[in-house]
Amino acid sequence: MAFIVAIDGPAGSGKGTVANIIGKKLKLLNIDTGAMFRCVALELLRRKININEEEKIKDVLKNIKIELIVDNEENIVKLNGEDVSLDIRKEEVSNFVSPVSKLKIVRNFLLDLQREIANNKDVVMEGRDIGSVVFPNADVKIYLDASPEERAKRRVLQNKEKGIESDYETVLENIKVRDERDATREIAPLKKAEDAIIIDSTYIGIEEVSNKIIDIINNKRGCK
């Protein structure tokens, strides 16, 4: 039987890094659902389609091909055959993806795709609504959190590593706005599933968080 680990949490909580570590260590397929929303946002931007043009968005979704590939231990995101791993992280996409992720047609399309990709596989899937909507029966559900201030600090550091200078106060403000938007949207808002285990990564490092989750998974697997 397939084993499903759901990791949800706000932007900058470290869920991407943690899912990556856990996926590699436990040989679980790592599915970054945020990257899938980012692919749709990128395609709409490229075609200059705005979020009110439902018919055009439907057409885009009919033909879009999103693939999450692991090559030489590296996660690669492909959009219609093209490697867009870097393009989907650009500021322009980050700003547009939040309104795009509110659209019912987009959420429904990706919900089906997420379930299809995970079908019959052992996976760690990270996002905002995995434990609550995509896989309400997941074997392990984690809700990873951290204070907005800590998440802003991490984002500034990440940007610095990429050679991008950013202002802490502006990043913090953006994080708070995005949290509010993600938590209050009508469909599948960011929320902790009732039976999710909360881990706060504000004061503990990513390695320690990953080890905690690995222990939880191993305990659960032992029981399965």
Residues in touch with ligand DC (CB under 6 A)? 11, 33-34, 37-38, 97-98, 101, 127-129, 182
Nearer to ligand DC, 128 or 151 (CB): 128
Q: How far is the CB of 62 from ligand DC (least distance, A)?
A: 21
Contact in structure between 93 and 29 (CB atoms under 8 Å): no
Which is it for strands 123-127 and 29-32: parallel, antiparallel or unpaired?
A: parallel
Nearer to ligand DC, 34 or 136 (CB): 34
Nearer to ligand DC, 13 or 210 (CB): 13
C-alpha angle 129/134/136, rounded to 5°?
Answer: 90
Q: How far is the CB of 72 from ligand DC (least distance, A)?
A: 22
Q: Which amino acid is at 125?
A: M
Contact in structure between 105 and 61 (CB atoms under 8 Å): yes
What is the token pair recorded at 9?
């949490």
Q: How far is the CB of 218 from ligand DC (least distance, A)?
A: 25
DSSP 196: P
Q: How far is the CB of 128 from ligand DC (least distance, A)?
A: 4
Q: How far is the CB of 222 from ligand DC (least distance, A)?
A: 29
Q: Which residues contact 50 (CB under 8 A, 6 or more apart)?
A: 44
Which is it for strands 140-145 and 197-200: parallel, antiparallel or unpaired?
A: parallel
Nearer to ligand DC, 95 or 222 (CB): 95
Contact in structure between 44 and 38 (CB atoms under 8 Å): no
Nearer to ligand DC, 32 or 139 (CB): 32
Mapping DSSP to helix (H, G, I), strand (E, B) and coil, where does residue 141 land?
strand
Contact in structure between 13 and 127 (CB atoms under 8 Å): no
Nearer to ligand DC, 43 or 129 (CB): 129
Q: How far is the CB of 153 from ligand DC (least distance, A)?
A: 17
